[in-house]
Amino acid sequence: MQQYLESVKGIIDPSEEDKNAMTIAVLRTVSFMVMHGFYQNPEELAKIATPIVLFLNGGNSTKKK
């Protein structure tokens, strides 16, 4: 999951609906895993959090044309 999120680089393109659906599914799965203790130490959390932070401000996303 980390590898997929790193490959997306925080970019959401409205024209890529399938990719966006996959990204949302991965983010939901990561959320579930974090809440249920799959990532237990700070190093693991930092590794998965780093690519997620790129999505937060939307600066990497493209606008719908």
Q: What is the pLDDT of residues 4-61, one digit of tens each?
A: 999 998 888 889 999 999 999 999 999 999 999 999 899 999 999 989 998 887 766 6
d(CA 28, CA 9): 17
Residue 25 lies in a domain: yes
The first and second tokens of residue 19, run together, are 């990719």
Q: How many domains does the chain have?
A: 1
Q: Is a pLDDT exceeding 80 seen at residue 65?
A: no
Residue 62 lies in a domain: no
Residue 16 lies in a domain: yes
Residue 64 lies in a domain: no
Contacts of 62 (CB under 8 A, 6+ apart): 11, 12, 13, 14, 15
d(CA 24, CA 6): 14
Q: What's the pLDDT at 17?
A: 93
- Could you tell me the residue range of the domain that residue 34 belongs to? 2-56
Q: What is the model's pTM?
A: 0.82
Q: What's the pLDDT at 40?
A: 86
The first and second tokens of residue 24, run together, are 């949302």
State CA 61 to chain mean position distance: 13
Q: What's the pLDDT at 12?
A: 86
